[in-house]
């Protein structure tokens, strides 16, 4: 069995012998080092196994017992930590040996082994002075590795690193000296055992400062950034992954010493760690160099891990997976969380560093440049997953660890801690995703596309440029790929553990992602893949059917059945479109999971899965880089708010409100809506049908499920009666109706069809929020009714429009016209959709309106009713504009001569939806009765006098008989039609321009097709309502955070002496924080 001391000896022997062995042959030393590194990793795993049986492994040196000689001990935490270090060491060793440009020769490899020796010594030794020696070995071998870099600024970075390293070891040495003087011992365990010591505060202060400076705390970490920026990516990965992990393990080793004799120090370190995490993320936003940004990110992650470690209430979470792992590894929960964060950071960060090696240049891509890796799966998959892991998104260990931390903070009521972590990680999400999105942006993507692109000269849109030339990553990509695979499998293992108690279903989306990605890999024809997707969805629906109650059945129908029908649309795809189906199926399944989760963790896991998969769908759009960044930012901000509310267990006064705001952001309510048009419109046509008709209901569904919490007042405990009386529902109601109006108004003045439909979706969601907030039987029935019918007609509209865009190649309405002759079926489906949407009687729309106004009047919200009617009038306007500019009016000569009807696969789902709409219009009870059954549980119908008389539905205010209306309309329509047919026996068809044009003959369709700026008079009258306000507000917020970030990063002025000065300031600050006086 390999004892720790043998590892140290082996590393040492390798370090000494490699320069000589290099003479024997380059290949030899490469294979030898890889073998030895693998051996180290295997040894650490064997320790983990052995410790499980026998407890910590202690090995003495020099044949004497501990205090007299130096001893090394490896407890479970150290063993697992070392396993992480050796794993990253193996991967980075392999990377450095085979990377093209800066291959490590004999000398660098021996320095590398000296580094590994130093790190393992750091973690194992129990003797404080010996710790100093190993710290020096690590730093000096790192300086040596820095020398072998390529960036000529590395010496400036190295010099600053040495000054900081020198000062920190000076402080450490003074600390050890005086500690020896007070306690007479150098061995850590003996000192801790000595009780009743004189005040060890000062020596421990110096000791901790020595360690902390190496861990790059806030004021004194300028040098670290310069090192990250100038070092090779390989060395950067080594520093950020292995060095930080070892030093954090050292800090954990010293914790008992600090807790015994210097409690003030722990508090000060906590504050410093929190500061480092937050401010490093803040400054990270302003970065232009990729590696420096990763430097800031690793500073932040170190700060986060320390912050979690040191905060007293971090280990209380009794999350299922966590407790199983803790019992398996015999660690306590705080250690498991720290371990998870360490692994997550080490593997993901080193993967990202290695991936920067393959980028053309270190500087971040400007928004207008073509990303190096658009559509290049080899590079994008590891990079994307690494970014996900770092921002703690499922299924990576970081997600579970962060969930455990936040819930335990919530349990202990540590709101400040939650706020710091969530806001900080939101900042990190911003700059990491910005980097990722830029590397894969499309050539033509101006990077700032969130509004429709209307060319000045009315010329039809240029044909899209072919995908740019992308760099093929060398096969050395295996190193980052391998580390990501290991990280994902760890994350999945944890996921399986924590969801095994009856929630295995929640893992299905991941399985589906893997399965369909496999199909993509083996390049099945798209049609086959689509059928498999449908089969998968069908199977899933069958699986969860048993667990659905009334309410979830309805949303199940919306989520699963709705998407099943819309999958037909994908059949008209000719090219491979790899990557579309896996994420699409994953999104739909995670939506389905929202119906069947059992614990708040299950809910949040599926919620984040949905966010992640929908992000990867939006990002496929040709000009979707800016829109997808906004989408991920807002979705995650909303998700973090929800996480806060879940962690707080809805006890806090405002958590109900924060939870509601989180959902409103996801639904795109007014004020939070600026991500919605970009995401829905810029995504691919097939994807935007799913996004707007299915995904937008997710927030609404959660509103329904957690309805219980909205009973609270808005300002609980507010002084005067009026404030206390405002409850959340009133606020939600006003938000809903204003969103409805704003959505409709904004849709009115758009030139691009998809933007019109996106804003119209926003308007419809406003209606749903309004209906929900009425909190009565009729109100909820209306909300559900609107949800279902919105799926139908919005799906119909988007599919028809997708067909039109595919045929005409443009999205601008004024460039089309007169398509009714070429695409009659699309015309009918759009006609039916706009009748249903605007609420014109015979079809389902009117049912929604009738239910809405009855419930509003019952509730007494008369003003809302008035505003809702006005916005439904405005809705009628943009719908007519849509159908007129596309299908009616004068067809453009020359452009659309030879276009055919939309492909058959697009028309089948439209036909299905049309039939369903007609069905529900004829027999509204078919739809309303199940909705009432769903709502019955919460608000009984009888209480509000809602009853059925035959096919007429009665409410306390009025009545409505859907079938009668349909028959009367049919009758009233057919009789005049018959009359006209009889009278107009000999009708003559005429060609295009045969119109009464005041005796002239119009020859140019552009002038006679009235389409551009259709409602200019309306713009003059009510244009002021639609000025850009929310956009400016959010841009102001981004700018101020940028400015703040700029302010923070100015501290790192680049001057080596100022960095030394920062260290002295840090010492003073630390002393003050630790409660010291002068």
Size of the site for other proteins (CB under 8 A): 174
| Binding to other proteins in span 311-350, by CB under 8 A | none
| Binding to other proteins in span 801-830, by CB under 8 A | 818, 820-821, 824, 827
Does 165 bind other proteins (CB under 8 A)? Our answer is yes
- The residue among 133 and 271 lying less far from other proteins, judged by its C-beta, is 133
Does 884 bind other proteins (CB under 8 A)? Our answer is yes
CA distance 862 to 89: 69
Task: Look at residue 752 and give its three-state secondary structure.
Answer: strand
**Window contacting other proteins (CB under 8 A); options: 153-161, 308-316, 683-691, 1030-1038:** 153-161
CA distance 341 to 338: 5
- The residue among 475 and 1078 lying less far from other proteins, judged by its C-beta, is 1078
Does 70 bind other proteins (CB under 8 A)? Our answer is yes
Does 870 bind other proteins (CB under 8 A)? Our answer is yes
**Residue 1045 Cβ vs other proteins, minimum distance, rounded to whole Å:** 10
**Residue 369 phi, psi dihedral angles, 5° rounding:** -90, 160
**Residue 1078 Cβ vs other proteins, minimum distance, rounded to whole Å:** 5
- The residue among 78 and 445 lying less far from other proteins, judged by its C-beta, is 78
> Given candidates 46, 313, 367, 1008, which one binds other proteins under the rule CB under 8 A?
1008
- The residue among 135 and 351 lying less far from other proteins, judged by its C-beta, is 135
CA distance 979 to 323: 79
CA distance 74 to 39: 17
> Given candidates 147, 469, 514, 723, which one binds other proteins under the rule CB under 8 A?
147
Contact (Cβ atoms closer than 8 angstroms) between residue 47 and residue 1:
no
Site string for other proteins, 763-802 (x = CB under 8 A): ----------------------------------------
**Window contacting other proteins (CB under 8 A); options: 91-99, 527-535, 918-926, 1012-1020:** 1012-1020
Cis peptide before 395 (omega within 30 of 0): yes
**Residue 91 Cβ vs other proteins, minimum distance, rounded to whole Å:** 22
Dihedral over alpha carbons 770, 773, 779, 783 (to 10 degrees): 60
**Window contacting other proteins (CB under 8 A); options: 448-456, 594-602, 905-913, 1066-1074:** 1066-1074
- Alpha-carbon Rg for the chain, nearest whole angstrom, is 33
**Window contacting other proteins (CB under 8 A); options: 252-260, 297-305, 575-583, 1050-1058:** 1050-1058
Query: In sequence order, what are the residues at sequence separation of 6 or more whose Cβ sits closer than 8 angstroms to the Cβ of residue 413?
Result: none
Does 1025 bind other proteins (CB under 8 A)? Our answer is no
> Given candidates 942, 943, 996, 999, which one binds other proteins under the rule CB under 8 A?
996
Query: In sequence order, what are the residues at sequence separation of 6 or more whose Cβ sits closer than 8 angstroms to the Cβ of residue 872?
Result: 744, 838, 839, 849
**Residue 877 Cβ vs other proteins, minimum distance, rounded to whole Å:** 5
CA distance 687 to 689: 5
**Residue 188 Cβ vs other proteins, minimum distance, rounded to whole Å:** 14
Does 158 bind other proteins (CB under 8 A)? Our answer is yes
For the stretch 359-397, what's the b/e string if a residue is b when 16 or more beta carbons lie within 10 angstroms of its beta carbon?
A: beebebbebebbbbbbebebbbbbbbbbbbbbbbbbbbb
Does 114 bind other proteins (CB under 8 A)? Our answer is yes
| Binding to other proteins in span 905-924, by CB under 8 A | none
**Residue 6 Cβ vs other proteins, minimum distance, rounded to whole Å:** 8
- The residue among 599 and 961 lying less far from other proteins, judged by its C-beta, is 961
Phi-psi map region of 218: left, alpha, beta (phi>0 left; psi -120 to 50 alpha): alpha
CA distance 994 to 318: 78
> Given candidates 545, 948, 959, 1033, which one binds other proteins under the rule CB under 8 A?
959
- The residue among 230 and 503 lying less far from other proteins, judged by its C-beta, is 230
Does 883 bind other proteins (CB under 8 A)? Our answer is yes
| Binding to other proteins in span 179-218, by CB under 8 A | 180-181, 184-186, 202-203, 205
- The residue among 378 and 1076 lying less far from other proteins, judged by its C-beta, is 1076
Structural tokens at position 719: 């002084």
* Helical residues (DSSP H) of 671-711, grouped into ranges: 675-682, 685-690, 697-705
**Residue 131 Cβ vs other proteins, minimum distance, rounded to whole Å:** 10
**Residue 851 Cβ vs other proteins, minimum distance, rounded to whole Å:** 10
| Binding to other proteins in span 976-995, by CB under 8 A | 976-977, 979-980, 983-984, 986-990, 992-995
> Given candidates 2, 266, 888, 938, which one binds other proteins under the rule CB under 8 A?
888
Pick the closest to residue 640 from 597, 608, 676, 679 (CA basis): 608
**Window contacting other proteins (CB under 8 A); options: 10-18, 35-43, 347-355, 620-628:** 10-18
| Binding to other proteins in span 223-262, by CB under 8 A | 225-226, 229-230
> Given candidates 877, 895, 908, 933, which one binds other proteins under the rule CB under 8 A?
877
Does 1061 bind other proteins (CB under 8 A)? Our answer is yes
Does 163 bind other proteins (CB under 8 A)? Our answer is yes
> Given candidates 129, 267, 519, 1034, which one binds other proteins under the rule CB under 8 A?
129
Neighbours of 502 (CB within 10 A): 9
Contact (Cβ atoms closer than 8 angstroms) between residue 399 and residue 510:
no
Does 16 bind other proteins (CB under 8 A)? Our answer is yes
Structural tokens at position 768: 């749903």
Element holding 541 (H helix, E strand): helix 526-545
Does 721 bind other proteins (CB under 8 A)? Our answer is no
> Given candidates 117, 241, 551, 665, which one binds other proteins under the rule CB under 8 A?
117
> Given candidates 723, 1037, 1043, 1068, which one binds other proteins under the rule CB under 8 A?
1068
Query: In sequence order, what are the residues at sequence separation of 6 or more whose Cβ sits closer than 8 angstroms to the Cβ of residue 583?
Result: 513, 613, 614, 616, 617
| Binding to other proteins in span 845-864, by CB under 8 A | 846, 849-850, 853-854, 857, 860, 862-863
Does 78 bind other proteins (CB under 8 A)? Our answer is no
CA distance 55 to 783: 60
CA distance 700 to 548: 17
According to DSSP, residue 443 is labeled T
* Helical residues (DSSP H) of 811-923, grouped into ranges: 824-838, 844-859, 862-887, 904-922
**Residue 39 phi, psi dihedral angles, 5° rounding:** -60, -45
**Residue 145 Cβ vs other proteins, minimum distance, rounded to whole Å:** 8
According to DSSP, residue 468 is labeled P
Diameter of the chain by CA atoms? 118
Name the residue with tokens 């048993």.
Answer: 546
For the stretch 262-286, what's the b/e string if a residue is b when 16 or more beta carbons lie within 10 angstroms of its beta carbon?
A: bebbbbbbbbbbbbbbbbbbbbbbb
Does 39 bind other proteins (CB under 8 A)? Our answer is no
Name the residue with tokens 């391998």.
Answer: 482
For the stretch 694-710, what's the b/e string if a residue is b when 16 or more beta carbons lie within 10 angstroms of its beta carbon?
A: bbbbbbbbbbbebbeeb
**Residue 457 Cβ vs other proteins, minimum distance, rounded to whole Å:** 21
> Given candidates 446, 711, 1054, 1075, which one binds other proteins under the rule CB under 8 A?
1054
| Binding to other proteins in span 268-307, by CB under 8 A | 286
> Given candidates 468, 952, 1012, 1041, which one binds other proteins under the rule CB under 8 A?
952
- The residue among 682 and 944 lying less far from other proteins, judged by its C-beta, is 944
Does 874 bind other proteins (CB under 8 A)? Our answer is yes
**Residue 270 Cβ vs other proteins, minimum distance, rounded to whole Å:** 20
For the stretch 296-325, what's the b/e string if a residue is b when 16 or more beta carbons lie within 10 angstroms of its beta carbon?
A: bbbbbbbbbbbbbbbbebbbbbebbbbbbb
């Amino acid at each position: 069995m390999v004892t720790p001391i043998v590892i140290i000896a082996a590393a040492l022997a390798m370090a000494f012998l490699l320069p000589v062995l290099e003479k024997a042959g380059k290949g030899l030393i490469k294979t030898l080092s890889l073998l030895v590194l693998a051996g180290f990793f295997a040894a650490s795993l064997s320790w983990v196994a052995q410790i499980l049986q026998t407890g910590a492994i202690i090995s003495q040196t020099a044949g004497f017992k501990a205090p007299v000689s130096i001893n090394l001990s490896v407890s479970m935490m150290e063993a697992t930590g070392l396993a992480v270090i050796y794993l990253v060491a193996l991967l980075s060793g392999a990377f450095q040996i085979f990377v093209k440009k800066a291959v490590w020769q004999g000398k660098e490899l021996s320095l590398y082994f000296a580094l590994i020796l130093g790190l393992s010594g750091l973690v194992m030794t129990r003797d404080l002075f010996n710790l100093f020696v190993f710290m020096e070995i690590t730093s000096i071998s790192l300086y040596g590795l820095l020398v072998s870099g390529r960036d000529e600024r590395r010496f400036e970075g190295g010099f600053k690193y040495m000054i900081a390293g020198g000062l920190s070891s000076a402080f450490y040495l003074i600390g050890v000296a005086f500690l020896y003087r007070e306690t007479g011992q150098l061995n850590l365990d003996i000192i801790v055992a000595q009780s009743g010591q004189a005040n060890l505060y000062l020596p421990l202060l110096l000791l901790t400062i020595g360690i902390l400076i190496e861990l790059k705390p806030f004021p004194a970490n300028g040098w670290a950034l310069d090192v990250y920026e100038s070092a090779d990516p390989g060395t950067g990965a080594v520093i950020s992954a292995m060095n930080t992990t070892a030093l954090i393990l050292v800090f954990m080793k010293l914790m008992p010493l600090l807790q015994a004799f210097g409690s003030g120090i722990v508090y000060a370190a906590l504050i410093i760690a929190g500061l480092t995490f937050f401010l490093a993320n803040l400054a990270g936003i302003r970065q232009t160099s990729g590696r420096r940004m990763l430097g800031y990110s690793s500073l932040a992650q170190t700060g986060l891990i320390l912050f979690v470690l040191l905060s007293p209430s971090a280990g209380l979470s009794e999350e299922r997976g966590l407790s199983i792992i803790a019992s398996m590894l015999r660690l306590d929960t705080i250690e498991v969380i720290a371990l998870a964060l360490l692994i997550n950071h080490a593997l993901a960060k080193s993967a990202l560093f290695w991936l920067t090696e393959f980028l053309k240049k270190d500087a971040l891509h400007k928004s207008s440049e073509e990303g190096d890796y658009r559509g290049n799966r080899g590079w994008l998959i590891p990079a994307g997953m690494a970014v996900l892991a770092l921002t703690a998104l499922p299924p990576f260990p970081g997600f579970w660890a962060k969930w455990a931390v936040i819930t335990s903070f919530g349990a202990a009521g540590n709101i400040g801690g939650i706020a710091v972590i969530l806001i900080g990680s939101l900042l990190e999400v911003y700059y990491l995703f910005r980097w990722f999105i830029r590397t894969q942006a499309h050539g033509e993507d101006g990077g700032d596309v969130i509004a429709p692109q209307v060319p000045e000269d009315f010329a039809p849109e240029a044909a899209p440029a072919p995908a740019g030339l992308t760099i093929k990553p060398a096969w050395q990509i295996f190193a980052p790929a391998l580390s990501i695979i290991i990280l994902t499998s760890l994350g999945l293992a944890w996921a399986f553990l924590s969801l095994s108690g009856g929630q295995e279903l929640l893992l299905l989306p991941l399985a589906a992602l893997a399965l369909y990605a496999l199909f993509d890999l083996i390049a099945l024809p798209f049609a086959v893949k689509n059928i498999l997707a449908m089969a998968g969805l069908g199977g899933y629906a069958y699986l969860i059917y048993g667990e659905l109650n009334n309410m979830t059945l309805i949303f199940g129908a919306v989520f699963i059945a709705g998407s099943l029908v819309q999958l037909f649309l994908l059949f008209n795809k000719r090219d491979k479109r790899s990557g579309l189906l896996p994420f699409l199926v994953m999104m739909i399944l995670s939506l389905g999971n929202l119906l069947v989760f059992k614990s708040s963790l299950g809910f949040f896991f599926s919620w984040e899965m949905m966010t992640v998969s929908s992000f990867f769908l939006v990002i496929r759009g040709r000009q979707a880089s800016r829109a997808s960044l906004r989408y991920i930012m807002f979705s995650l901000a909303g998700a973090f708010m929800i996480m806060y509310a879940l962690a707080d267990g809805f006890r806090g006064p405002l958590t109900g409100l924060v939870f509601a705001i989180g959902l409103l952001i996801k639904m795109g309510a007014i004020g939070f809506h600026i991500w919605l048009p970009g995401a829905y419109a810029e995504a691919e046509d097939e994807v935007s049908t799913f996004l707007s008709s299915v995904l937008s209901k997710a927030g609404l569904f959660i509103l329904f499920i957690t309805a219980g919490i909205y009973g609270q007042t808005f300002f609980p405990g507010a002084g005067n009666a009026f404030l206390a009386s405002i409850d959340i529902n009133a606020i939600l109601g006003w938000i809903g109706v204003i969103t409805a109006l704003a959505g409709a108004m904004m849709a009115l003045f758009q030139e691009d069809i998809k933007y019109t439909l996106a804003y119209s979706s926003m308007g419809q969601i406003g209606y749903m929020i309004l209906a929900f907030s009425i909190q009565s039987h009729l109100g909820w029935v209306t909300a559900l009714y609107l949800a279902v019918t919105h799926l139908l007609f919005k799906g119909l509209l988007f599919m028809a429009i997708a067909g039109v865009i595919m045929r005409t190649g443009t999205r601008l309405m004024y460039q089309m016209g007169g398509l009714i002759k070429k695409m009659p079926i699309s015309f009918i489906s759009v006609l039916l959709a706009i009748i249903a949407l605007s609420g014109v009687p015979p079809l389902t729309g009117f049912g929604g309106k009738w239910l809405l106004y009855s419930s509003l009047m019952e509730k007494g919200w008369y003003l809302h009713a008035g505003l809702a009617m006005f916005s439904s009038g405005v809705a009628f306007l943009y719908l007519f504009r849509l159908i007129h500019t596309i299908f009616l009016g004068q067809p453009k000569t020359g452009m659309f001569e030879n276009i055919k009807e939309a492909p058959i696969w697009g028309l089948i789902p439209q036909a299905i939806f049309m039939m369903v709409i007609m069905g529900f219009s004829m027999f509204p009870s078919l739809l309303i009765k199940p909705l009432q059954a769903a709502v019955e549980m919460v608000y009984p119908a009888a209480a509000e006098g809602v009853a059925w008389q035959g096919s007429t539905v009665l409410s306390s205010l009025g009545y409505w008989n859907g079938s009668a209306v349909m028959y009367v309309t049919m009758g009233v329509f057919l009789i005049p039609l018959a009359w006209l047919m009889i009278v107009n026996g000999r009708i003559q068809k005429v060609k295009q321009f045969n119109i009464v044009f005041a005796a002239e003959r119009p020859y140019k369709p552009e002038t006679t097709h009235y389409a551009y700026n259709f409602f200019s008079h309306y713009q003059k009258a009510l244009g002021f309502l639609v000025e850009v306000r929310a956009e400016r507000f959010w841009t102001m917020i981004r700018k101020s955070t940028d400015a703040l970030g700029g302010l923070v990063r100015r501290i790192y002025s680049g001057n080596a002496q100022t960095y030394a000065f920062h260290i002295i300031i840090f010492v003073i600050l630390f002393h003050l924080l630790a409660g010291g006086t002068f």
